[in-house]
Amino acid sequence: MDTVISELLKLGGIDILLDEAVKERYHHIWNMDEPLNAKAIALPKSTAELSQILRICYAHAQAIAVHGGLTNLVGGTETNENEVVISLEKMNAIEEVDIQSRTMTVQAGVILEHIQNKAKENDLLFPLNFGAKGSAQIGGIISTNAGGLRVLRFGMTRNLVLGLEAVLADGTIVASLKKIIKDNSGYDLKQLFVGSEGTLGIVTKAVLKLVEAPKSRNSAFVAFDDYAKVVHFLKFIDKGLAGTLSGFELIWGKTYQMMTSPPAQAKPPLAHGFAYYVLIESLGSDMQNDLQKMQNLLEEAFEKDLIKDAALAQSQSNLDWFWTIREDVHVLKSQCNHDQHFDISLPIPNIGEVVEAITQKLYKIPKVEQVCSFGHVADGNIHFIIGKSEQTPELIHQINEIVYSPLQELGGSVSAEHGIGLHKKKYLHLCRTPTEIALMQQLKKSLDPKGILNRGKILD
pLDDT of 443-452, one tens digit each? 999 999 999 9
pLDDT of residue 62: 97
For 170, counting Cβ atoms within 10 Å of its Cβ (0-12 exposed, 13-18 middle, 19+ buried), the class is middle
pLDDT at 21 over 90: yes
Of 10-24, 205-219, 222-236, minimum mean pLDDT range: 10-24
Burial status of residue 84 (CB atoms within 10 A of its CB: 0-12, 13-18, 19 or more) = buried
Q: Domains of the chain, with CATH numbers?
A: 94-212 (3.30.465.10), 216-330 (3.30.70.2190), 336-418 (3.30.70.2740)
Q: Give the 3-state secondary structure of residue 131.
A: helix
Residue 351: is its pLDDT beyond 80? yes
Flag whether pLDDT at 134 surpasses 90: yes
Query: Does the pLDDT value for residue 1 go beyond 70?
Result: no
Q: Judge whether residue 267 has pLDDT over 90.
A: yes
Q: How many residues does the chain have?
A: 460
Confidence band of 131 (pLDDT split at 50, 70, 90): confident
- Strand stretches in 225-308, DSSP E: 245-252, 276-284
The answer to whether residue 250 scores a pLDDT higher than 90 is: yes
Q: What is the mean pLDDT of residues 395-416?
A: 96
Percent of the chain with pLDDT over 90: 97
Average pLDDT, the chain: 96
Name 252's Cβ contacts closer than 8 Å, sequence gap at least 6: 275, 276, 277, 355, 372, 373, 374
CA 19 from chain center: how many Å?
A: 31
Which H helix or E strand runs over 106?
strand 103-107
Confidence at 247, pLDDT banded by 50, 70, 90: very high
Question: pLDDT digits over 91-126, tens only?
Answer: 999 999 999 999 999 999 999 999 999 999 999 999
What burial class does residue 24 get, using C-beta atoms within 10 Å of its C-beta: 0-12 exposed, 13-18 middle, 19+ buried?
exposed
